[in-house]
C-alpha cells in the first residue's frame, strides 16, 4: 500500500467506520505523525509475540526470609524450617498441603477403627464422674463407691494409659 498523500510506502493503516460508511486511510510515517495517529513500533506484532513465546520463563522461587526454605525443599522433606514459613510460602504451601490431604487444607489424620466406641466410653466416663461428685457431695458414700468401681473397670478396659482413677491418681 502507498501513502494517500505522497505515494511513499504506507506504514500506518487506519479503517474508520462512521454512520455505516467505511473509510480507509493509508499514510507514511511522516504524514501519520502530522495527522496525530499512533505510530507502530519498530517490529511487527507477530515478531514481538514470537519473541515472547521463545523466551523461557524461569519459575519464581519463593524463599522464607528467616530460614531460607523453598517450596521445593518443603516438597522433598515435608517439613517446614520455621514458623515464618507458613506466612512466606503462603498459597503455594496451602496448595501442596491440599494435594497431600485429598483437597483439605488442614491435616485431619485418620480416625481409629473403634472411634465411636471410644467416644461413647469418654461420654460414659464423664457422666460417671459427674454422678460420683454429686454422690460424694450428697454424702451417698455407698453409691459413690459403686461409681468409683465402675470408673476403675472402664479404665482397666481401656488399657494402662487410662488406668488412673477418677481423682487422677
Summarised one tens digit per residue, pLDDT across range 35-93 is 877 665 555 566 656 655 555 555 667 788 888 888 888 878 878 888 888 888 777 77
128 and 150 inside one domain: yes
pLDDT of residue 140: 92
Q: Does a structural domain hold residue 59?
A: no
Q: Does a structural domain hold residue 37?
A: yes
pLDDT of residue 40: 59
Q: Does a structural domain hold residue 6?
A: no
pLDDT of residue 122: 87
48 and 80 inside one domain: no
CA 141/CA 147 separation, integer angstroms: 10
Q: Which domain holds residue 34?
A: 12-54
70 and 87 inside one domain: yes
What pTM was computed for the model?
A: 0.31
In 3-state terms the chain splits into helix, strand, coil percentages (rounded to 5) of: 50, 10, 40
Task: Report the domain count for the chain.
Answer: 3
Q: Does a structural domain hold residue 7?
A: no
Per-residue pLDDT tens over the stretch 137-168: 999 999 999 999 999 988 887 665 444 444 44
Q: Does a structural domain hold residue 168?
A: no
Q: Does a structural domain hold residue 132?
A: yes
CA 120/CA 112 separation, integer angstroms: 13
pLDDT of residue 165: 45
DSSP assignment string, 59-127? PPPPB-TTT--BHHHHHHHS--SSTTHHHHHHHHHHHHHHHHTTT-SS------TTHHHHHHHHHHHHH
pLDDT of residue 137: 92
pLDDT of residue 142: 93
Q: What is the mean pLDDT of residues 119-145?
A: 91
Q: Does a structural domain hold residue 128?
A: yes
pLDDT of residue 164: 46
Amino acid at each position: 500500500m502507498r501513502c494517500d498523500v505522497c505515494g511513499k510506502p504506507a506504514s500506518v493503516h487506519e479503517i474508520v467506520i462512521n454512520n455505516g460508511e467505511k473509510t480507509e486511510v493509508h499514510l507514511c510515517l511522516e504524514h501519520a505523525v502530522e495527522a496525530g495517529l499512533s505510530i507502530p513500533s519498530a517490529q511487527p506484532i507477530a515478531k514481538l509475540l514470537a519473541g515472547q513465546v521463545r523466551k523461557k520463563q524461569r519459575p519464581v522461587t519463593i524463599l522464607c526470609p528467616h530460614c531460607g526454605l523453598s517450596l521445593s525443599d518443603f516438597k522433598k522433606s515435608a517439613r517446614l524450617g520455621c514458623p515464618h514459613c507458613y506466612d512466606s510460602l503462603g498459597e503455594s504451601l496451602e496448595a501442596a498441603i491440599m494435594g497431600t490431604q485429598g483437597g483439605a487444607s488442614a491435616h485431619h489424620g485418620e480416625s481409629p477403627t473403634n472411634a465411636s466406641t471410644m467416644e461413647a466410653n469418654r461420654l460414659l466416663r464423664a457422666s460417671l464422674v459427674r454422678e460420683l461428685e454429686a454422690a460424694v457431695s450428697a454424702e451417698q458414700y455407698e453409691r459413690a463407691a459403686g461409681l468409683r468401681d465402675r470408673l476403675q473397670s472402664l479404665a482397666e478396659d481401656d488399657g494402662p494409659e487410662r488406668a488412673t482413677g477418677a481423682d487422677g491418681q
